[in-house]
Structure 1
Amino acid sequence: MSLSFDLNDLEELTLNAKQIQENVLEEILTLNANTEYLRQFLHGSIDKELFKKNVPVVSYDDIKPYIERVANGEPSYVISGKPITRFFLSSGTSGGKPKIFPVNDEFFEDQTFISSLSSSIISKHIKDVEQGKALTFNFVRTQSSTPSGLQVSAGITSYLLSDCFKNRPSNSFTSPDEVTLCPDNKQAMYCHLLCGLVQRDKVVSVAAPFASALVNAITFLENYWKELCSNIRYGHVSEWITDLSCRDAVTNILGGGNSALADLVEEECNTKSWKGIITRLWPKTKSVQSIVTGQYAQYIPMLEFYSNKVSLISPVYASSETMFGVNVNPLCKPQDVSYTFMPNISYFEFLLVDEGDKVEIVDLVDVHIGCYYEALVTNYFGLRRYRMGDILQVTGFYNNAPQFRFVRRKNMVLSISLEATTEEDILKALNHATPILKSSDLLLMGFTSYADISTHPGHYVFYWELKAKNNNEIIKLHNKILVECCCVIEESFNSIYRQLRSKDGYIGALEIRVVQQGTFNSLMEIFISQGASPSQYKTPMCINSSEALEVLDNNVLARFISDRSPPF
């Protein structure tokens, strides 16, 4: 694939989506029909209809034995017609333990293509955005190896360590590569901020792969701005930055002391409220770019508060399994984001959701507006009709390529009795409840939930980490306001929940447990210690880990319980 790109190619790809998808499937089958996995179903054939008739729809557990065989040293042709050169590690925070997925270096070309496409689209909508630099919070994590010696790491880490990243035409980031590639994430975060502050007049966008990393960066800045100001004032890097290549590169960017800049940063950071802190520190910022769909939607209110509602762009839809598509309307509200699927990356099919025993699978161009589907992926690296577990709703078409809104992860639900409360239900309920917090000048910094069946009847527990909008103010937890939040959340849930809660008494009153500040950072550390990527981490909407629950419950400051049944 050519890595050069212009917007005319977007038109060609989306106009010819059907033919391109057929070509992609033919190429995948030609390369892989004689792999051990496909041969048992196709017997060497590359016929599309035979593929759809004989090759089963699978989940990770179905293909895990084949992946593990390659990881343990068997030849790649167990699952792939091309050599497997490494494995991607999933985040592990959406559906339990991290998974590994086989890839080769062509995946990085797909990443570069999607990134370039997205940048071209954003440049079309935001004038001169390509003229400045991006303060981008990218991080790498230490790689591990399979028994056969192949590298295993998160997709972002793999890309940042790849030749595609190293040989990119220019560095549009405020941070030198030595910072981005620093293996100590705390040192990297500090240096990202220091480089961004020193080059504040060049910053036109603030970005991170996922919204959680941006919120973590602001929290980090709150804790370290005085030290950062000292570094800027005297032109030195703090002694605890011990990574020598990182230290030397940042020292070069500092270029000596700058008292005027230190005074300016100090003045902005020392204010009562940090509302709009991003645009106050980086006044030329035209956009904040990060994934804010799905579980990351919980961070939208915080990012809007910190950015003074500058354009919040959710640019791409991607995963460890494949790149999917781009947001062709980047200036839409973050709650309204849809992604246009690119037909040249993988072969996509869609399983219609909630049709009872009826199984209906359709091709990319045959989906229907308004319907809900689970995406199936057939890629070049070993996945065949793989169930993503992502539930998507078709919102429209760009030419002949469908556009999808990310709705939820399939298996991420709360349930006590017969009800199933999804991610979408939880986010909708929170959107109704969080405005109530505004009356007490509180920000919801993090949340998760849990179906507590240790009580009778069982009940939902929401863990909230709150923060005062004004710096250094003591958080005042008003019982009336927090209890009202409990009630509003319950009233926002579906009719089955409300019936079981109010009429039948099968579900107990919903509870909010407010935890100490920093608790969700401790939660993140647990998941990272278990293999989650710092760059890809998102707080799970629903917690099942006993270790994580113990951390949450050990940090509870106060408990509030709904005092009325929701109307049914």
Structure 2
Amino acid sequence: MAATEGISTIGEAKYPDVENLRLIEELNSNVDAVQERVLAEILGRNAGAEYLNKCGLDAGNKVPVVTWCPVRQARCQRRPFAHLVNTPPSPGSSPARSGTSTGERKLPIVTDEIARREVLSLMVHSFHGYVPGLDMGKVLYLTFVESETKTPGGLTAQPALTSVYKSEHFKRRANAYTSPMATILCEDASQISMYAQMLCGLCQHHDVLPVGAVFAAALVRAISFLQLNWAQLAADIEAGELNPRVTNPSVREALAGILRPHAELAEFMRTECSRGDWTGIVSRVWPNTK
């Protein structure tokens, strides 16, 4: 679901479709029923799967609760899970995402349907419902990808959030962000991607309404990065040119469409960032944040 779907216009303001907010309430109020329904849908679609047949179950029953170890062993022994990971993918196959719950990465298979159910879509409607006016500006959301690997069978394996950011579902909403897709998809997250996304957010600082990241630690790193690099960022803004330390061609091309000489903004940044007091720095640098 794109970020703007379900939005209706009333006068000059936009309000989220109440059905999306009702769905959020339902998912959180009737958790047991929702889980039962989703499980029944999954079992129904996969009633003929080898794994279910091995369990002696049909589409109306539940599979046993197991730990990751039996699943991993089944994969290694080329049982159904191994078949998914070790055989060549069919055209249009979805990637395998890595996830952790015990410190060890796992590889659940992701389908297009799962991608469409991403909580990010509902989160957008929830934000709009409780913080009016967010749709009237830009989002500075620090988002980073990690490198992909391949399973023996040729499936793409990547972290869950990387899968989200590379999906067509996310790209359709990307125009709401200050960061162009090239800066988000740059795999040098600690330097080039962070620098480019921060620079884009600063160039559009009056348009930014929400500032954030998926994990709080990423936002803390971003503010620390600004604290260490504000002088170079201000110099780039003043000159209207990206400094040579950013070598990624796609990122440089994307920034060329945003970065313009802006002496006043550069001086504003120097004033705010050179004080030594970083209390409230987000609302000071991005004055319209909600």
The residue number in structure 2 matching 1:299 is none
Distance 1:134 1:271, change over 3 A: same
Distance 1:123 1:227, change over 3 A: same
Bigger proportion of residues as strand: 1
Q: What amino acid is aligned across from residue 99 of structure 1 in structure 2? A: K
- Give me the whole-angstrom Cα distance separating, in 1, the residues matched to 2:37 and 2:102: 32
Does structure 1 residue 110 correspond to structure 2 residue 124?
Answer: no
SS at match of 1:66: helix
SS at match of 2:276: coil
CA contact (8 A) 2:21 2:126 kept: no
- Give me the whole-angstrom Cα distance separating, in 2, the residues matched to 1:259 and 1:224: 17
Q: Any idea what the Cα deviations from partners look like across 1:235-293, whole Å, max 9, x if unmatched?
A: 110101111111121122012x111110100011101211111111001111xxxxxxx
**What percentage of residue pairs aligned between the two structures are identical?**
35
The residue number in structure 2 matching 1:46 is 59
Distance 1:74 1:193, change over 3 A: closer
Distance 1:234 1:2, change over 3 A: closer
Q: TM-score, normalised by structure 2?
A: 0.84
SS at match of 1:139: coil
SS at match of 2:206: helix
Does structure 1 residue 65 correspond to structure 2 residue 73?
Answer: yes
CA contact (8 A) 1:33 1:42 kept: no
Q: Give 1:199 shift.
A: 0.5
Q: How does 1:38-187 map to 2 (within 5 A)?
A: 38-43=52-57, 45-48=58-61, 51=62, 55-68=63-76, 69=82, 70-73=84-87, 85-90=94-99, 95-111=102-118, 114-166=119-171, 168-169=172-173, 171-185=175-189, 186-187=191-192
**Counterpart pick for 2:268 among 250, 264, 271:** 264
| Alignment gaps of 5+ in structure 1 | 77-82, 287-568
Q: Give 1:56 shift.
A: 2.0
The residue number in structure 2 matching 1:239 is 244
The residue number in structure 1 matching 2:42 is 28
- Give me the whole-angstrom Cα distance separating, in 2, the residues matched to 1:125 and 1:99: 36
CA contact (8 A) 2:174 2:180 kept: no
Q: Give 1:127 shift.
A: 1.8
The residue number in structure 2 matching 1:556 is none
CA contact (8 A) 2:96 2:108 kept: yes
Q: How does 1:366-385 map to 2 (within 5 A)?
A: none
Distance 1:275 1:29, change over 3 A: same
- Give me the whole-angstrom Cα distance separating, in 2, the residues matched to 1:23 and 1:64: 27
CA contact (8 A) 1:84 1:102 kept: no
Q: Give 1:85 shift.
A: 2.7
Distance 1:272 1:89, change over 3 A: same
CA contact (8 A) 2:240 2:262 kept: yes
Distance 1:265 1:61, change over 3 A: same
Q: What amino acid is aligned across from residue 62 of structure 1 in structure 2? A: P
Q: Give 1:18 shift.
A: 6.1
Q: What amino acid is aligned across from residue 11 of structure 1 in structure 2? A: R
Bigger proportion of residues as helix: 2
| Alignment gaps of 5+ in structure 2 | 7-16, 77-81
Q: Any idea what the Cα deviations from partners look like across 1:343-365, whole Å, max 9, x if unmatched?
A: xxxxxxxxxxxxxxxxxxxxxxx
CA contact (8 A) 2:142 2:218 kept: yes
Q: What amino acid is aligned across from residue 70 of structure 2 in structure 1? A: D
The residue number in structure 2 matching 1:197 is 202
Q: TM-score, normalised by structure 1?
A: 0.44
Q: What amino acid is aligned across from residue 167 of structure 2 in structure 1? A: S
CA contact (8 A) 1:67 1:102 kept: no
- Give me the whole-angstrom Cα distance separating, in 2, the residues matched to 1:180 and 1:60: 32
Distance 1:33 1:84, change over 3 A: farther
CA contact (8 A) 1:136 1:173 kept: yes
- Give me the whole-angstrom Cα distance separating, in 2, the residues matched to 1:161 and 1:75: 18
- How many residue pairs match? The answer is 268
Q: Any idea what the Cα deviations from partners look like across 1:359-400, whole Å, max 9, x if unmatched?
A: xxxxxxxxxxxxxxxxxxxxxxxxxxxxxxxxxxxxxxxxxx
Q: Any idea what the Cα deviations from partners look like across 1:47-88, whole Å, max 9, x if unmatched?
A: 24xx2xxx3211111211334512122899xxxxxx963211
SS at match of 2:176: coil
Greater Rg, structure 1 or structure 2? 1
Q: Give 1:20 shift.
A: 4.9
SS at match of 1:183: coil
CA contact (8 A) 1:140 1:183 kept: yes
Distance 1:47 1:75, change over 3 A: farther
